[in-house]
Amino acid sequence: MTRTALEMFRFDNSFVRDLPGLYQWWQAESVTNPTPVVVNAALATELGLDPEVLSAPDGIRALLADPAPAGAEPVALAYAGHQFGSYSPRLGDGRALLLGEMITPDGQRLDVHLKGSGRTPFARGGDGRAALGPMLREYLMGEAMHALGVPTTRALAVIATGEDVRRETTLPGAVLVRVASSHIRVGTFQFAAATGDLDLLSALATHTIARHYPSIASSSTPTFALFEQVLTVQADLVARWMTWGFIHGVLNTDNVTISGETIDYGPCAFMDRYDQATVFSSIDHGGRYAFGNQPGITQWNLARFAETLLALMAADAGVDPEAMVEPASEVLGTFSDVFSERWHAHMLHRVGLDDSADARTLVADLVAMAQAHQLDLTMAVRALVDVADGDTRAWEHATLGADDAEQWVHRWQSLARVDAGAMRGRTPVYVPRNHEVERVLAAATDGDITPFMQVLDALTSPFDVTAGAEALATPGPDAPGYRTFCGT
Ligand code: AMP
Ligand code: MG
C-alpha cells in the first residue's frame, strides 16, 4: 500500500481520548473484493483529501480501515435511545464504526464513520451489514439536503463489498463512509446518564460544549446553556425540514444529533402532495413520525435530552435536581415559539417575502391551501419564478386551478419584492422525489449506477434546471398509502 493512502487523513480522536466508557474498541471486517460505487470528489476535496488517491484501491482499503490508516482508532459508539417511544438502554453502533476525527484544512473537526462494516458488540440480532440501495439512499438524501442548506451528515463514499446481504431478498452489500461534525446523539447522553456515573456524563457535556458550542464554555451554568443551544439548533433543523417537505421517518432519540445535523436516513422521503398526515416509514404504524408531527416529536426528544441533564444542571447551580425541573421545562416550553420563528424565516425567504404580519398570514394561507388541495408545494412555489416574470400558467397548473390559489397569487404579487432571478435561487426545482429515488436505487442494485449519478447531479444544484431531470420536478404517480420500506 502506498504511503499516501495510509497517511492521507489527519486524525485527532478527541472522543476516544475524552470519553472511555462511551465506546468499545473494534475492527472493521475485512472485505474481500471492495469496489467503489460512488466517491464524493467534491466533499473529499473540501476535506483536504485527494479524490484520486481516495478512489484508488489503496485509498478504498484505507477508508474501510483494512488496514486502518495512520491515526485511525476504530471504535463502536455506545448509545441508548427511545425507539417509537420505548426506551432501549443499549443500542450503539451495531454495524458501524467511528474511524476517527479528521481535522480539515480549514480546521474543522469531522467524524469519519463507516456503516455496514460488520457486527460489533452492539449488534444484538443484526448481521452487521448494509445493503447497497439504502446506503446509496443515504448518500443521495444527504447531498440533496446539503444542497438545500439543511445541516446534515454527508457521504464520502459508498463501497460495494461484493458480498450478499440477506433481507427480504438477497441484495448486494455495501459500506457507507460518512462524515459528520460528530455522532453525539440524544441517545449518547441517555446512555451516559443511565450509567449513573456523573463524572462520565459531565465529561460528555464538557466534550460536547468544547466541540459544538465553545461560546458557552465559560458560562456559569454551561449545562443549562447546552440545553438551550441544542433546543435552538434542533428547532431550526426541523423548521428547515418542514419548509422543504422532508420526512425523516424514524425520529428516535438515537437519531437526533446534538450538533443539529440530520442523521440516519432510513425510510425518509420528500412529500409530493402536501399532507401533514403523510407517513413514509412502513414500520411507523401509528404515524408517530408523520410529517406534521415532527416539531412535536422533536420537542419530545428534547424533553428526554433535558432529563439526562438535570443532575448536571443541578450540580452547576448548586441545587437539587428537582429544583431544575421547572427552569428546564420553561426552556422546553419555548420550543414552539423558537420553531415558529425559524419556520417563518425559512418559509418567507423561500417565497421571497420580507417579514410582516401580512407576509406571515400569506405563508400560513399557502400551507393551508396546499393541505386542502393536496398540492405539490415544491412545484407550486417554484412556479412563483414564472409568476414574477408575469406568466401564471405554471402556478395555475401546480395549484390545480383553485380559486383561492388565484387570489393568493394576487396577494403575493402585491407583497413580494423579488424578481424571478432572486426567486430562482430561493426555491428548488428538484427535490429527491420518491418515485425517482426508488427508480435509480433499483437500477443501481441491478448494477447500473448511471441513473443514480444523473439524479445526484441534478440534486446537487437543485435551484438550477438540469437537462433530462424533468421527472425530479414533478410528483410521482398517485399511489395512496405508498410507503418506503424500512430497508436499512
Ligand atoms: P438505525 O435504524 O439505523 O438507526 O439503527 C438502530 C439500531 O439498530 C442501531 O443500534 C444500529 O446499530 C442497529 N442496527 C441496525 N441494523 C443493523 C444490522 N444490520 N446489524 C447490526 N445492528 C444493526
Ligand atoms: Mg440510527
Going residue by residue through the chain (488 aa), what tens digit of pLDDT does each one get?
556 888 999 999 999 999 999 999 999 999 989 999 999 999 999 999 999 999 999 999 999 999 999 999 999 999 999 999 999 999 999 999 999 999 999 999 999 999 999 999 999 999 999 999 999 999 999 999 999 999 999 999 999 999 999 999 999 999 999 999 999 999 999 999 999 999 999 999 999 999 999 999 999 999 999 999 999 999 999 999 999 999 999 999 999 999 999 999 999 999 999 999 999 888 898 999 999 999 999 999 999 999 999 999 999 999 999 999 999 999 999 999 999 999 999 999 999 999 999 999 999 999 999 999 999 999 999 999 999 999 999 999 999 999 999 999 999 999 999 999 999 999 999 999 999 999 999 999 999 999 999 999 999 999 999 999 999 999 987 644 444 544 55
Question: Same domain, yes or no, for 63 and 174?
Answer: yes
Domain membership of residue 481 (yes or no) is: no
Q: Closest Cα to atom 7, ligand 1: which residue?
A: 91
Ligand 2 midpoint to CA 94 (Å): 10
Question: Same domain, yes or no, for 152 and 29?
Answer: yes
Cβ(266) – ligand 1 distance below 6 Å: yes
- Atom nearest to 252 CA in ligand 1: 4
Closest ligand to residue 185's CA: 2
Query: How far is CA 478 from each of CA 51, 187, 249, 273, 483, rounded to the nearest angstrom?
Result: 41, 37, 20, 9, 12
Alpha-carbon distance 330 to 307, whole Å? 13
Question: Same domain, yes or no, for 205 and 122?
Answer: no
The total number of structural domains that make up the chain: 4
Domain membership of residue 295 (yes or no) is: yes
- 401-440: b or e for each residue (b if 16 or more CB lie within 10 Å)? eeeebeebbeebeebbebeeeebbebbbbbbbbbebbbbb
Question: Same domain, yes or no, for 322 and 359?
Answer: no
Ligand 1 midpoint to CA 94 (Å): 5
Question: Same domain, yes or no, for 226 and 331?
Answer: yes
Q: Closest Cα to atom 11, ligand 1: which residue?
A: 94
Question: Same domain, yes or no, for 219 and 171?
Answer: no
Cβ(165) – ligand 1 distance below 6 Å: no
Question: Same domain, yes or no, for 22 and 169?
Answer: yes
Cβ(255) – ligand 1 distance below 6 Å: yes
Question: Same domain, yes or no, for 309 and 450?
Answer: no
Beta carbons of 349 and 426 less than 8 angstroms apart: yes
Ligand 2 midpoint to CA 90 (Å): 12
Print the domain residue range for 39. Answer: 3-180
Question: Same domain, yes or no, for 59 and 166?
Answer: yes
**pTM (2 decimals)?**
0.96
Question: Same domain, yes or no, for 250 and 388?
Answer: no
Question: Same domain, yes or no, for 248 and 294?
Answer: yes
Domain membership of residue 484 (yes or no) is: no
Q: Which of 115, 146, 180 is the last residue of a domain?
A: 180
Question: Same domain, yes or no, for 247 and 305?
Answer: yes
Peptide bond between residue 480 and the one before it cis (omega within 30 degrees of 0): no
Q: Which residue numbers are catalytic?
A: 254
